[in-house]
Chains A and B, each alone.
Chain A
Amino acid sequence: MNNTADVVVVGAGIVGAACGEVLSGEGLRVAIVESEVVGGGATAAGMGHIVVMDEPEADYALTRYSRDLWDEFEPLLPPEVEFCRCGTLWVAADEEEMQIARRKAASYTRLGVRAELFDPAVLREAEPNLRPLAGGLLVPDDSIIYPPCAARWFVARAISRGALLHVDARVIELRNGEVLLASGGRISTGVTVCANGTWASSLVPSLDVRPRKGHLAITDRYPGFAHHEVVELGYLKSVHVPAAESVACNVLPRPNGQVLIGSSRQFGVTDARIDAPVLERMLRRAVEYFPGLARLNVIRTWTGFRAATSDRLPLIGRCPGYDKIYLATGHEGLGITTATGTARLIADLILGHEPAIPTGPYAPSRPTLGSAHA
């Protein structure tokens, strides 16, 4: 493989695929290089939640921008992407969490994001299989998708505009203006976008990205068991507390009636095998919220690796020390949502356009980052 491109995108997960779609749409000659298959890594492992976070400010800005971009894509998405605007239902186990729900409701409203507080009776009506809880907060305009098909659709659009896709092609080295492949091939390129999730750290030394393992389980089809993406408000604690291991109830209905059950977070693990005690804790947590889950058949369990940074914001922008290498990774658990915004910002940065939102918080050169190897 000896050829040239304006932009090489390393990685055809949802982020790389979205980058290929936007960059090819700008008229650039794009090559997408994927070590395995399109949408096969963390993209295939994730839940497919498109969610607006109300805080911190940098999370809000990117998730809101990205959700709006998803909404623009929605009429174009093919049926297999399974876009479903089921809304996020944050549920409160007790009065303390209900206070958080009220604070978030005010915050979303201030930001112009529709949000609605549920008392226990309304919550019960909305999700009859939940055990009695203190209440909830519905963000009705959040959505779910089936991410691997979304990645494939982005790649297909890029190809229709002349982009080249190389699958089963592993990149072994990035240089300014050149990408070296394990096959011995090389691609001369104007710029390179490194969008291969947690594996970016194998190409860029000292990158502040480390794997945060997650487990998921999916049931057979039980239509009507759940109606929203249901997330316990305690989830926010489990995400933000950098504990070695945590679980939270996160349950969503697939459009075909299957129930997808998460979530777990583990640092310091690179073994992809199912960790039975963690899976058990995760399922027990979900059953605490949805007792009826215990009677459903789980038909598949799997794991994936989120690309986590030390300050919990993604890396979007030029890679320090390189003129022509850009990073689009470190999205941790929000990569499905923020793929669209990331791709747009990367294109704006490469082309020198004014981005729609400030990119400083995501700049790989920001001082709040450390080194995963430090």
Chain B
Amino acid sequence: MPETVRLTINGKPVSVPVGTTVAAAILRGGEHVFRRSVSGMPRGPLCGMGICFECRLTIDGRSHQPSCQTPCRAGMDIRTDGL
């Protein structure tokens, strides 16, 4: 049984294995829309390696964080309803 961390995604508590990226945690829950483009189109991870910046979202109130490069930490507040 791997060690886990607990965090919330859009207010919903989730538990993921230690070392999981924020992007992976969201995809595990079946969500694919991480943010909205200038014209309101859905956006989500494309490259998964910190280059394309399409997977940006709001972590602990700070917007435009690259979720594929951010490991989950206990108590994180993740939001996918931002820009």
Contacts and interface: CB of A to CB of B under 8 A. Distances in A.
A284 B25 CA distance: 36
B83 A223 contact: yes
Contacts of B38: 221, 256
Interface stretch (B10-18, B43-51, B56-64, B72-80): B56-64
Contacts of A222: 63-64
A220 B64 contact: yes
A257 B83 contact: yes
A295 interface: yes
Chain A contact patch, size range: 10 to 19
A50 B67 CA distance: 38
A295 B38 CA distance: 21
B41 to A, nearest CB: 14
Interface residues of B, number: 7
Nearest to A258: B38
Contacts of A297: 64
Contacts of B53: 299
Nearest to A257: B83
Contacts of B83: 220-221, 223, 257
A295 B62 contact: yes
Interface in A255-314: 256-257, 295-297, 299
Contacts of A295: 62
A336 to B, nearest CB: 23
B83 to A, nearest CB: 5
A296 B64 CA distance: 8
Contacts of B63: 220, 222
Given A256-B38, A257-B83, A220 B62 contact: no
A226 to B, nearest CB: 15
A34 B34 CA distance: 42
A213 to B, nearest CB: 28
A257 B63 CA distance: 12
A214 to B, nearest CB: 26
Contacts of B62: 295
B70 to A, nearest CB: 13
Interface string A233-248: 0000000000000000
Nearest to B56: A220
Interface in B21-50: 38
Interface centre among A220, A221, A222, A257 (most CB of B within 10 A): A221
Nearest to B39: A256
A222 B56 CA distance: 13
Nearest to A223: B83
Nearest to B53: A299
Interface string A216-227: 000011110000
A287 B23 CA distance: 31
Nearest to B38: A256
16 contacts: A220-B56, A220-B63, A220-B64, A220-B83, A221-B38, A221-B64, A221-B83, A222-B63, A222-B64, A223-B83, A256-B38, A257-B83, A295-B62, A296-B64, A297-B64, A299-B53
Given A220-B56, A220-B64, A222-B63, 11 more contacts: A220-B63, A220-B83, A221-B38, A221-B64, A222-B64, A256-B38, A257-B83, A295-B62, A296-B64, A297-B64, A299-B53
* 9 residue pairs, one from A and one from B, having the closest CB atoms: A220-B64, A221-B83, A297-B64, A256-B38, A222-B63, A295-B62, A257-B83, A223-B83, A221-B38
